[in-house]
């Protein structure tokens, strides 16, 4: 994971409630055993007029001109603006990967499905909850402005617009620390590898029954 301190970028508005994970990345793309290649298939069934399958060349596909991802003004967006219950549905982690691989670094919405939010934060995708009225205002500004940009300051937990208006958000302290350091739970464990090894060595002496291989070697050595 890359550390996050500040995100500044174009806003992509997805003006729908209850955007579920099957819409974010349809089920046929879950066949892949790799964690790469999902970005081109973000919102696949909304984004394209033909049916998508893993490995397809998107240059030969028919784009849906009425879907917002295909509008030139939103190309290169880093911040997705969503409505209530974003990420509902199944618990597929692929939905987070698809958003990240498309280029989305943060999502702002009134609320998120719990499993999706946990998956996002564990993978380094920042989810920001703002009040409904603030989200409504941001949607209005996004639609009214050709290139509506926002900045997210993670340390101060603030979203800042071009006029200097700031919107504070809450974030679990542990998740914030992980995001700013660019680590997940596995990384945190690996950072303690020397301490873990030292503990195991002490335990092999004080509690040898927990280590049958060690006990066997000692028995054989006494013969």
130 plus 212 within the same structural domain? no
Question: Under a CB-based contact definition with an 8 Å cutoff, are residues 112 and 138 in contact?
Answer: no
What b/e sequence results for 59-68 when a residue is b if at least 16 CB atoms lie within 10 Å of its CB, and e otherwise? eebeebeeeb
β-strand partners of 152: 7, 159
119 plus 98 within the same structural domain? yes
State which residues form the domain around 122: 6-183
Question: Under a CB-based contact definition with an 8 Å cutoff, are residues 125 and 102 in contact?
Answer: no
pLDDT of 58 higher than 60: yes
Q: So what's the pLDDT on residue 217? A: 52
217 plus 129 within the same structural domain? no
111 plus 49 within the same structural domain? yes
Q: What's the number of domains the chain is made of?
A: 2
Question: Under a CB-based contact definition with an 8 Å cutoff, are residues 82 and 95 in contact?
Answer: no
- CB-based contacts of 216, cutoff 8 Å, min separation 6: none
178 plus 209 within the same structural domain? no
User: How many residues appear in the chain?
Assistant: 223
pLDDT of 223 higher than 90: no
The distance of Cα 44 from the centroid of its chain, to the nearest Å, equals 18
pLDDT of 55 higher than 60: yes
Per-residue pLDDT reduced to its tens digit, 79-100? 999 999 999 999 999 999 999 9
State the Cα–Cα distance between residues 106 and 114, nearest whole angstrom: 16
131 plus 212 within the same structural domain? no
Mean pLDDT of 151-155: 98
Q: Which position has the higher pLDDT, 40 or 1?
A: 40
132 plus 171 within the same structural domain? yes
Mean pLDDT of 5-9: 98
Q: What CATH number does residue 48 fall under?
A: 3.20.19.10
Per-residue pLDDT reduced to its tens digit, 126-138? 999 999 999 999 9
65 plus 126 within the same structural domain? yes
In a domain, 82, yes or no: yes
169 plus 199 within the same structural domain? no
């Amino acid at each position: 994971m890359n550390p996050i301190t500040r995100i500044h970028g174009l806003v992509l508005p997805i003006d729908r409630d209850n955007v579920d994970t099957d819409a974010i990345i349809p089920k046929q793309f879950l066949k892949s055993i790799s964690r790469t290649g999902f970005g081109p298939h973000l919102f696949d069934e909304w984004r394209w007029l033909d049916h998508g399958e893993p490995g397809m060349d998107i240059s030969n596909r028919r784009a849906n001109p009425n879907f917002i991802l295909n509008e030139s003004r939103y190309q290169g967006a880093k911040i997705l603006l969503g409505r209530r219950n974003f990420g509902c549905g199944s618990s597929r982690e692929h939905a987070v990967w698809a958003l990240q691989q498309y280029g989305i670094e943060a999502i702002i919405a009134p609320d998120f499905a719990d499993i999706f939010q946990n998956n996002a934060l564990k993978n380094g995708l920042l989810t920001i909850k703002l009040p409904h009225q603030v989200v409504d205002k941001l949607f209005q500004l996004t639609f009214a402005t050709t290139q509506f940009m926002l900045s997210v300051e993670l340390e101060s937990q603030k979203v800042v617009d071009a006029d200097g208006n700031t919107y504070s958000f809450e974030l679990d302290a542990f998740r914030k620390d992980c995001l700013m350091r660019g680590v997940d739970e596995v990384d945190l464990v690996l950072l303690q590898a020397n301490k873990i090894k030292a503990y195991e060595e002490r335990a092999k002496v004080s509690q040898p029954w927990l280590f049958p291989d060690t006990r066997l070697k000692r028995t054989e050595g006494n013969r």
